Structure formats: structure tokens, C-alpha cells
Amino acid sequence: MVSAASTGEALADGRWDPLAGVRAADSPDLDVLLTGSVFLDLVFTGLADVPTPGTEIWADGMGSSPGGICNLAVATSRLGLRTGLAAGFGADVYGDWCWDVLSRQEHVDLSLSRQFADTHSAVTVSVAHSGDRSMITHGHPVPMSADELIGTPPASAAAIAELSLMTHDAGTEPWWLQAAAQGTKVFADVGWDPTGAWDTATLDALGSCHAFMPNQVEAMAYTRTDSPQAALHALADRVPLAVVTCGADGAMAIDASTGEQAHVPALSVLAIDPTGAGDVFGAALVLGSVAGWSLGDRLAFSALCSALAVQQFGGSLSAPGWGDISDWWTVTKASVGGVDPDVVDRYRFLDTLVPPFPVRMVRRAHATIATQSDLPELHPATLS
């Protein structure tokens, strides 16, 4: 494992490929394979209070964006990972718009995805308040499973899968097991367990995974431990790369494949919407792992990308691009006396990573759902 080093190059359309220098002739076409449910997210921010029955309140801000698995797809693609998504989309205006944003604006490969007639898009309304969010969702399962959509998995350097969905019947071989068998590094994530059972059998699938990335509450609940540190060590016995995110206390990890351990504090920022921040963290971790960076650099980069995301609203479209990362580093290292010297030292590795010239800007969430005519050519000059 090495410190982060420059291997990137600019693409013809103005995007930045941070892995260009480490791709071999026989490297897979995809850097990361994803599957999951697609939602249309409507995010309200800047609320003075939360609504109570019989009242109406006004929000200062609103953003519309593709949600659900799209949070990960946009985050990985904006960081320069060649991203493939297998998902079912509704055959309605919402589904058309999400498909268009992902494929044309965000350059996500949707060759394994499908739109289904007579299936409407799932919708989530997210209310960001007091540093957290509450959500209301309506939707229905799409007619095909992930295994049916993917079939034989395409070659990919990495894949990200939801651990609670990784159970399978005897005699069947789900897509993620096939992917792992052909050399794909599977990064497992996990969501909140509404039953409160936190069944430890859920962790059995980690035997075929490369990494596990829970938050501290999930990690302690599944391992029956009483501290994030104890949970991390318990998980490190199950999976080569164990990572536990700890909110304002940062993140910690153990990489058994390299013998590294690391803890990185969180960056202090003004957060307006945490929607998708965990997905951005995971996307950045995958990039650093595929690139072969040191564990400390991987965690620091992930913490930075997550911190940049929460300063925007709109879920998937709050994910940073390389221009955001470069701008932050330029300002941070030039702030004499205004920035903690430890932060500057921690992120010195960015000197060799950020593009040496301006790159294509990323598009933020609109208050209303942008029509297809809003995305005609997507030249760098049209984005903001």
C-alpha cells in the first residue's frame, strides 16, 4: 500500500480520470458495479422547525435529484470511477428524468438497467433539520431482481452491495458471489434495522467480501460490542478491510491485507443536508482502494468528500467533483493562520492528486425537476 500519487489525466469532455495511470491493458471496463433501488428525491432544507399536524411551514431551500442507489452511482462517477448500474426504473416522467441525468449528465453506464412499463417511480421527500433528516417514501418493487438484471456480472474492479440483501437460497449463486469469484472486490454496506434485532447472521456474507463500511451504531449492534473500537476489531476478524464511521468523531479502519490501522477525524464544516454523505464516503473509499493508496489517505479523502457533500443539498447531486476537491485544497493550504496546521499536513497528499488545471464542473440540484431540454449538450461552460 502506498501514499496517494498522481496517476490521473484529463478526458476529452473535460472530466478527470484519476485512475488513468494505473489501468492496464487487461483492466476491466468497469471500475465499480452497483445495483439497488432508484428513487426520485425531493429534499427540503433551511427549516426553522419541523412540521406538526395541522400546520404548514416554509423551507428556505429545495433540491430534486435521483436518489437511492443513484446517490452512490453519481458519487463514484464524479470521482472518476467508471460506474455501471443495474437498476429498475419507472416508465414515467420521473423515471425518464432520473435515467437522463444518470446517463447523459453523470456518465453512468445503464446497459444493465431497464425501465418497466406500468411501474411508477418511487419517491422520497426528505426534510433536513438540525443536522439530520426525516424521510417519507412511497414506491413498489420493480418486476426483476438484481440477479435477473445483472445475469453474469461484467468484469469490474469493485462492487458495492447492501449486506442485508446479500442472503441467498441454497443452490443459487447471486451476482455478488459470482463477481467475487471472478476477482471483483465487494464492498458491503448496511442500513438501519427497523426490527431492532440486528441479526448477527447478516454478517455471514462478509466471508466473500473485501470490505465492510457500517457506521458506529450499526457496527456495535451487529457485533454486540459497547464501543466503536471494539466493533472495528470484531469486524476485522471477518473481512480484510473493516471501516467504522463515527460521525463527528471521524472514521477508523483496519486493513488486514496491508497490516495498516488508521483513524481520521472529521472535518468541521457547516452541514446543511446529510443526505447521501455516507454514499460519498463509500465512493471515495472505493476509489482510494482501487488506486492502492495508503489507508490513512483513503480515510482522509473519504472524510473530505463527505464533508464537501453535506455543504450542498439535493442528495446525489451534492456529491463533489474533482473541481470541488481542487478548490478546497487550494483555499485550505493558502489560509495562513486560519486553518488547523494538522489539517494541512493530513491532506498534503492532495498535491499529487488534484488536477493541475480546471476540469469540468458538476451540476447541483434544481429546486424543480429539470426537463430534458435543460441538458442539451452539457458542455463544461453550461454547468454550475
pLDDT computed for residue 246 by the predictor: 93
Angle between helices 228-236 and 216-223 (to 10 degrees): 60
pLDDT value at 264 more than 90: yes
What is the distance between the alpha carbons of residues 45 and 54, in angstroms, rounded to a whole number?
Answer: 20
CA distances from 13 to 17, 107, 283, 360 (A): 11, 11, 22, 8
| pLDDT tens readout for residues 149-171 | 999 999 999 999 998 777 665 56
Tell me if 304 sits within 8 A of 349, measured CB to CB.
no
Categorize the per-residue pLDDT at 340 as very low, low, confident or very high, splitting at 50, 70 and 90. Answer: confident
Domain range annotation of the chain: 30-51+58-320
Domain covering 30-51+58-320: architecture: 3-Layer(aba) Sandwich (3.40)
CA dist 69 and 189 (Å) reads 12
Helices marked H in 248-353: 277-291, 295-309, 322-334, 341-346
Per-residue pLDDT tens digits for 265-315: 999 888 777 777 899 999 999 999 999 999 999 999 999 999 999 888 777
Model's pTM, two decimal places?
0.91
How much of the chain, in percent, has pLDDT values that exceed 90?
A: 65
155-189: burial string, b at 16+ Cβ within 10 Å, e else: ebbbbbbbbebbeeeeeeebbbbebbeeebbbbbb
Residue 376 has pLDDT above 60, yes or no: no
